[in-house]
Structure 1
Amino acid sequence: MRNLLLTIGCMCLFFVAAAQNSREQWVSLFNGRDLKGWKQLNGKAKYEVKDGAIVGTTVSDEPNSFLATEKNYTDFILELEFMVDPSMNSGIQFRSESRADYMNGRVHGYQMEIDPSKRSWSGGIYDEARRLWLYSLEYNEKGKSAFKNNQWNHYRIECLGKTVRTFVNGIPTAHLEDSMLTSGFIALQVHSIGKNDLPGKQIKWRNIRIQSTNLLPKKAEPIFIVNLNPNSLSAEEKAQGVRLLWNGIDTKGWRGAHKDKFPEKGWQIQNGVLSVLPGGGGESTNGGDIVTEEEFSAFELQFEFRITSGANSGVKYFVTENEQSSGSAIGLEYQVLDDEKHPDAKMGVVGNRTMASLYDLIPSLKMDQAKRKPGEWNKGMIRVYPDNRIEHFLNGYKVVEYQRGTPIYYALVARSKYANWKDFGMAPKGHILLQDHGDAVDYRSIKVRSMK
């Protein structure tokens, strides 16, 4: 009987393994001998096969170079290994294109970042020659430690419909929900270097394989999700406690600051966008600010915004409405501003009234890569931790970091326009506010979750 049970057990394991193998239909994209099935696009970096690996070598004064698959892929799981010179930058393109009608054939599309620098954004998702950073590793601090310098690293990319997930050495690094593009080639990037830069730096790729049928996503610890589908929540976001703070349809959950109902003028809801209407540039003189009916303490607030040329607005938090003001309601403010054309950007101290700053207190880091032009959507985020640490994010960059209630915080308040407001910004909870500063500004995808 014992031998019979052992035989049955072995047969079960065999059939389970066989079923698993039948589902995981891996296809090799690199035969280990030559570059059959690949084509080079854009720059003239050198690609060759050595010791069973594809080797990419930098060439001075050349644009980004890409070794692309001749075949396009829609839904797939891609795995590969690479080793990169620690002083290089590179990436794996996927769902990417090269068209004559777009920037003269420049490769554009999603890229899983290879970043051996101290920034440690390996595994993030960059939108090459298009929307720039979609998912930086500032959203996922734990993921920063997954990449190993001077070693072979394992990358995994899952593209299933609108969902894109990346893994570095088995650790989840990015989770993106986006429907902009669903098909394209895969490509190995050798980043450009200047004419005075030392050429000859190398990156090697091997064991490149793909699945395009019977796809099974990897079970992994949940991480922060960037959802670029307007006013929507994925099932994974809901499971993490994320909810819409504005439903994209009506004024439910919002009212005018110091009022019991939503303003009758100055605001507009159209096509899933909540807009401040132009009103001459005055502070809270048209429709007035709007606030959430709900109050928040420790929270993570996500929002997308789009400014017009010369516009001014802001997202405030810990607004109590206890203070009376001739202008906007009082609270800590994430500045929303056209830094190039609005005069407020030149006021204050050391730039503490520029885009994404803690208004009149702390300037945002000067990162030109984080800014978008007027008319383009920006992704903002405010994180408030239970210990009163607070962070501002702009398009994937962490641009402000501080802690309420510290001596430094009180010193900053003392030299600001809020010096005479008792306990400014120190309320244990408060409303979230969108500011009417008399300029046309759009908001959408306003989401919140508790950080407790």
Structure 2
Amino acid sequence: MKHYLLFTLLLSMCCSFAAAQKWTYLFNGKDLTGWSKLNGSATYKAANGEITGISQANTPNTFLATDKKYKDFILEFEFMVDKDLNSGVQFRSNSLAEYNNGRVHGYQYEIDPSPRAWTGGIYDEARRGWLYTLTANPAAQKAFKQNEWNKARIEAIGNFIRTWINDVPAADLLDNVTSEGFIALQVHSIGDKKDEGKTIRWKNIRIADKDLHKYTRKGNKIPQVNAIANTLSAREKSEGWQLLWDGKTTNGWRAAKHTSFPERGWVMEHNVLKVLKSGGGESTNGGDIITTKKFKNFILKADFKITKGANSGIKYFVDPELNKGAGSAIGCEFQILDDQVHPDAKLGVKGNRTLGSLYDLIPAKENKPFRSGFFNTAMIVVKGNHVEHWLNDVKIVEYERNNQMWNALVNYSKYKDWPDFGNAAEGQILLQDHGDEVWFQNIKIKEL
């Protein structure tokens, strides 16, 4: 019996060993064989089983990239970073002569020891900017350890990209822009000479690229971001999200002052809905477009990108019957504006015509997380009389309507002549034509 039990135990151990995930170590612990430095001139050193990156003044971001490229994989590594030094680890990244003269671009696992605490978030280096911040994930923000070794994990399988920081889920992203590329360690450029010589260290850098479905982690309940243009993930569908624009047709939309979609002024190309430039006039070209359906309680998300000096807006509680004359249809407005160039930013009261503000009524908070030249995500939350504006995961406006204070606020605005403005129980969603080119995509809504 003893021999049988011993045999069974050994067999079990062998089977467990055979089933264990097979890792390939990307760093041999001694030198930088298999790695190449790209773009900048910061220093990388290999010693004692660690790679150390050293910050240097007057150089752009520097990357130490694997010579080999990877497609689907699970990557793990440990890192320790100086508290004043931003860094990251690139994956599915590339350096191509035809793209900004070889500029490294692609997904980055953020290493962020600042009070913002976005370590584990996903940044699209030299391309689209932030894809997944940690604003809505406080558990991950708290997981990073200052002045200690931290453990990172990245699962990149098909369009699914997930990250962990010290075994705490950090990011859950769907994206399909790049499917293959190298791994690279970043030493970020520095703006202050006093930060020269600070370090970021990595060790135990290992990757697996076989039988990945057996080893992916389960039970990830953090918010998911779907960056695949104009699609709904299985999770979004299960949560009740609907596309307001399908990325191809005019279905579900019409002109605010006509029964059909505008014949000019709007175009749909490359998964983007564009209102075209026409001189800066309010609804003087194609005119505003509105949803054919009315909405009451909802969460609305829309990605937008503005051209220099542009003006537009996303309106809600819109009643197209209120204004049959010139100008835009009437409703509460999430202002879209180039605050740096457009003169409207300096009009109104205390900045209530700036980007993200409830136009002409409530100013958005200062230091908004706007990304110039990139798509930004506007979110409008309506629960009865409670309304919120969000920009890139940061709440920038919050108010209550249908009360004395709201009505007094309206009476001191340009909307004072419109009866019971902003108090309707429901209304249509509107994208504004203000004579400037603005891009929209990923317009989706969840009714509450």
Quickly say closer, same or farther: Cα 1:97–1:349, change in 2 above 3 A.
Answer: same
The aligned residue for residue 344 of structure 1 is 344
Aligned partner of 1:162 in structure 2 is 159
2:30 equivalent in structure 1: 33
SS at match of 1:345: helix
Query: Paired residue for 1:353?
Result: 353
Give the alignment's Cα RMSD to 1 decimal: 3.4
Cα deviations by residue, 1:71-110 (Å, 9 ceiling, x for unpaired): 1112111011112222221111111223444444332222
Q: Are residues 247 and 362 of structure 1, via their aligned partners in 2, closer, same or farther at CA, if it must alter by over 3 Å?
A: same
CA distance, structure 1, for counterparts of residue 443 and residue 51 of structure 2: 44
Compare 75-84 and 234-243 and name the one that shifted more: 234-243
Asked if the contact 1:172/1:220 (under 8 Å) is kept, the reply is no
1:151 to 144, 148, 151: 148
Deviation sequence 1:38-85 (CA, Å, 0-9, x none): 233333333334443222232333332222222111211101111222
Deviation at 1:222, TM superposition (A): 3.4
- Give the distance between the partners of 1:9 and 1:447, measured in 2 at CA: 56
- Any idea what the Cα deviations from partners look like across 1:152-178, whole Å, max 9, x if unmatched? 221111112222221212222222322
Aligned to 1:392: 390
State the partner residue of 1:220.
219
Residues 278, 129 of structure 1: alpha-carbon distance in 2 compared, 3 angstrom cutoff:
closer
Output the CA distance in 1 between the equivalents of 2:435 and 2:172: 37
Assess, with a 3 A threshold, how the Cα gap between structure 1 residues 266 and 60 changes in structure 2: closer, same or farther: closer
Q: Deviations over 1:376-411 (max 9, x none)?
A: x62322141648251321xx3626232324898667
Query: Which residue number in structure 1 is paired with residue 429 of structure 2?
Result: 432
The secondary structure found in structure 2 opposite 1:236 is: helix
User: Displacement, 1:126?
Assistant: 1.3
Hey, what does 1:253 align to over in structure 2? 252
**Contact 1:355-1:364 within 8 A present in 2 as well:** yes
SS in 2 for 1:145: helix
Distance 1:333 1:102, change over 3 A: same
Aligned counterparts, 1:47-446, within 5 A: 47-194=44-191, 196-216=193-213, 217-257=216-256, 261-263=260-262, 266-270=265-269, 272-278=271-277, 280-321=279-320, 323-324=322-323, 326=325, 327-364=327-364, 370-373=370-373, 378-384=375-381, 386=383, 388-393=386-391, 396=392, 398=394, 400-405=396-401, 413=410, 415-419=412-416, 421=418, 424-446=421-443
How has the CA–CA distance of structure 1 residues 139 and 281 changed in structure 2, closer, same or farther, with 3 Å as cutoff? Answer: same
2:235 match: secondary structure: helix
Question: Residue deviations 1:113-169, cap 9 Å, x none?
Answer: 111111111111112222222222235444323323233221111112222221212
Contact 1:334-1:392 at 8 Å conserved across structures: no
Maintained 8 Å contact 1:273/1:444:
yes
Please list every run of 5 or more consecutive structure 2 residues that lacks an aligned counterpart in the other structure: none
CA drift at 1:442: 3.6
Query: Unpaired runs of 5+ in structure 1?
Result: none
Q: Is the 8 A contact 2:315 2:429 kept in 1?
A: yes
Structure 2: how far apart are the matches of 1:306 and 1:12? 60
CA separation of 1:59 and 1:330: change in aligned 2, threshold 3 A: same
Query: In the comparison of the two structures, how many residue pairs are matched?
Result: 443
User: Which range is displaced more, 154-163 or 9-18?
Assistant: 9-18
Moved more, 46-55 or 317-326: 317-326
Q: CA deviation at 1:417?
A: 2.2
Tell me the percent identity.
50
Which has the larger displacement, 180-189 or 338-347?
A: 338-347
Read off the aligned partner of 1:448 and give its amino acid letter.
Answer: I
Contact 1:358 1:400 survives alignment (8 Å): no
Secondary structure, counterpart of 1:331 in structure 2: strand
1:392 corresponds to which letter in structure 2?
A: W
What is the distance in 2 between the residues matched to 1:147 and 1:423? 49
The letter of the residue matching 2:396 is: V
Give CA deviations for 1:25-48 in whole Å, capped at 9, x if unaligned.
211112333333223333333333
State how far apart, in whole Å, the 2-side matches of 1:145 and 1:413 are: 41
Which is worse superposed, 180-189 or 294-303? 294-303
Quote the Cα distance in structure 1 between the aligned partners of 2:192 and 2:55: 11
- CA separation in 1, counterparts of 2:408 and 2:194? 45
Residues 94 and 184 in structure 1, CA contact (< 8 A), matched pair in contact too:
yes
The structure 2 residue matched to 1:43, chosen from 40, 46, 54, is 40
- In 2, Cα distance between equivalents of 1:419 and 1:144: 44
Query: Is the Cα contact below 8 Å between 1:40 and 1:66 reproduced in 2?
Result: yes
Shift of 1:235: 2.5
**More divergent stretch after superposition (259-268 vs 73-82):** 259-268
